[in-house]
Amino acid sequence: MEFTTLLFYIFASILVVSALRVITAPDQVQSALFLVLAFFNAAALWLLLHAEFLAILLVLVYVGAVMVLFLFVVMMLDLDLQRLRGDFKRFVPTAMIIGGVLITEMALILWRGYGGATAPASQADAVSNTHALGKLIYTEYIFAFEIAGLLLLVAMIAAVALTLRHGKDRKRTDSTKQIRVRREDRLRIVKMPSEENSEGAASQSASADSADGKSPS
């Protein structure tokens, strides 16, 4: 057995076990951590297939961004695990049907790939797949790449606009008013008698009342 084949069996075994623990772990935080382990082993399998771009993309996007968001949401929400476990049996038939469809599709793809497909033609230039993918994106598919980036930008702006709520009980900053602010709007001078003068006037009034034979109220 070759060393690459041994590594494949090791990474594949850990991937299958961690994927099973994602759906069988008693705690949702443990499920998220097992999903991170599954992503790392999937990236290792991509590296064995000499697809380093997909491997680093899987680690950066899913492990570095999506799973951090998952962990943040799971740890911030107060989930009722008993109610979720009670509904587990109700979704088992649907999950088995979907899983069966996925397994059938993967079997057909593998049978097509290893059964009747011909060997891929050798490339003229011995370059990495990252170089070849970047060359295709920024030359032949540059227009589609820019359209996809524009759509993602519009979707991000729409998400921010939808989550923005205007109400009387919500304070928001008006940049136009901040720019046009004047000195009179920021500072107001109020004239009032000092504390010493008010105490002196009170003592003088009390002494005058005592001299007239009146008791101070």
Going from N- to C-terminal start, the domains of the chain cover 1-80, 125-156
What confidence tier does 199 reach under pLDDT thresholds 50, 70, 90?
low
pLDDT digits (tens, 9 = 90+) for 168-198: 666 777 777 778 877 777 777 778 777 665 5
**Residue 100 to residue 118: CA distance in whole angstroms:** 28
pTM: 0.52
Mean pLDDT throughout 55-59? 86
213 backbone φψ class: left, alpha, beta (φ>0; ψ -120 to 50): left
Identify which of 31-35, 67-71, 72-76, 159-163 has the greatest average pLDDT.
Answer: 31-35
DSSP one-letter code for 169? T
pLDDT higher than threshold 60 for residue 118? no
Domain 1-80: give its CATH architecture.
Up-down Bundle (1.20)
What confidence tier does 55 reach under pLDDT thresholds 50, 70, 90?
confident
Question: Six-digit token pair at 75?
Answer: 């740890």
pLDDT digits (tens, 9 = 90+) for 138-172: 888 899 989 999 999 999 998 888 877 666 666 77
**Considering the chain, what percentage of its residues have pLDDT values greater than 90?**
7
CA 101 to chain centre: 30
Identify which of 30-44, 112-126, 164-178 has the greatest average pLDDT.
Answer: 30-44
Residue 141 φ/ψ, nearest 5 degrees: -110, 30
Give pLDDT, residue 216: 47
Burial grade of 38 (CB within 10 A; 0-12, 13-18, 19 or more): buried
Distances (CA, A) of 151 to 147, 164, 165: 6, 20, 23
